Amino acid sequence: MSLERISSNRSFGGWHKQYVHTSRTLHCDMRFAIYLPPQASETNKVPVLYYLSGLTCTDENVMQKGGAQRLAAELGIAIVAPDTSPRGDSIPDDPEGAYDFGIGAGFYLNATEAPWNRFYHMYDYVVKELPVVIEAHFPVSHVKAITGHSMGGHGALTIALKNPEAYTSASAFAPIVNPINVPWGQKAFANYLGEDKESWKEYDSCELIKQAKQHVPMLIDQGDADSFLEEQLKPELLQAAAEEASYPVDLRIQPGYDHSYYFISSFIDDHIRFHAKHLLA
């Protein structure tokens, strides 16, 4: 389980580093970034906040534009940002080169349909393989939380809902909350999971929240000027599902904010403080 470090930058007294490793789950080399706060040492293992990025993004988007390092350094929280899909010349991609499916758009699920099912197991990678790698190589504890943006917000919420014992808290920026009923999700799920729409529910936050037996503290921010709000995101559907299931969700609609990292960086401190209450409890 070797790692190749490809970059290292001092940041707020800690370190931002990028690594490549060979993933047994995805059958390709994968890159991830980690921010280690100054408190992290072999005698002081810090908790981890996993950040899942959205369509077309990589680990670099949040680390370079999210502005999370300052408060993470102050509070003593590591941040890990994986890539959004398997990558490489052997990885199947959208035949038309579209941005919303294939490379860069793994949707944090385990594909069951060929040819995607050999490589596109981002759910298992994030939930099972990557934490083992992180905890084996860095001074971090097993205590972890999860957050994400857009497709990554979908991933963060569904992963936390399916694994409530593994994550202290979950949050999301402009998540795709009901992918089985919006174009992005329908395209991805039909290709990755096939035509049996019952199987799609396994990766849908609205469906999962109705079945939840254990609650994970949850914070969601959504801008009301988001160009994807009405067609792709539909946060009101998650709010309705949560109310029906008596599942506590703090959903905040932020006036004037769009889908960009200007939005994320405006509220990232709120999310880190939210997670810190649970990670450091």
At 62 the pLDDT is 98
Q: What is the rounded CA–CA span in Å between residue 50 and residue 80?
A: 5
Beta strand 14-23 pairing with 4-11 = antiparallel
* pTM of the predicted model as reported, rounded to 2 decimal places: 0.98
Q: What is the rounded CA–CA span in Å between residue 230 and residue 69?
A: 32
Q: Which of 171, 121, 181 is nearest to 144 (CA)?
A: 171
Beta strands in the chain (DSSP E): 4-11, 14-23, 28-36, 46-52, 78-82, 140-148, 170-173, 218-223, 250-254
Residue 195, burial from CB neighbour count under 10 angstroms (0-12, 13-18, 19+): exposed
For the chain, the domain total comes to: 1
Q: What is the rounded CA–CA span in Å between residue 126 and residue 155?
A: 9
At 100 the pLDDT is 98
Q: What is the rounded CA–CA span in Å between residue 235 and residue 222?
A: 8
The set of catalytic residues is: 150, 226, 259
Domain span including residue 162:
3-280
Q: Which of 1, 23, 50, 22 is nearest to 124 (CA)?
A: 23
CATH number of the domain enclosing 102: 3.40.50.1820
Residue type, 259: H
Sign of the dihedral defined by the CA atoms of residues 269, 32, 59, 224, in that order: negative
Q: What is the mean pLDDT of each run of 10 residues along the chain (281 residues)?
A: 95 98 98 98 98 98 98 98 97 97 98 98 98 98 98 98 98 98 98 97 98 97 98 98 98 98 98 98 92
Q: What is the rounded CA–CA span in Å between residue 70 and residue 74?
A: 6
Q: Which of 274, 229, 232 is nearest to 255 (CA)?
A: 229
Q: Which residues contact 155 (CB under 8 A, 6 or more apart)?
A: 52, 107, 108, 122, 123, 126, 148
At 1 the pLDDT is 72
Give one DSSP letter per residue of 88-156, joined into a string: STTS---TT--TTSBTTB-TTSB--STTGGGT-BHHHIIIIIHHHHHHHHSSEEEEEEEEEBTHHHHHH
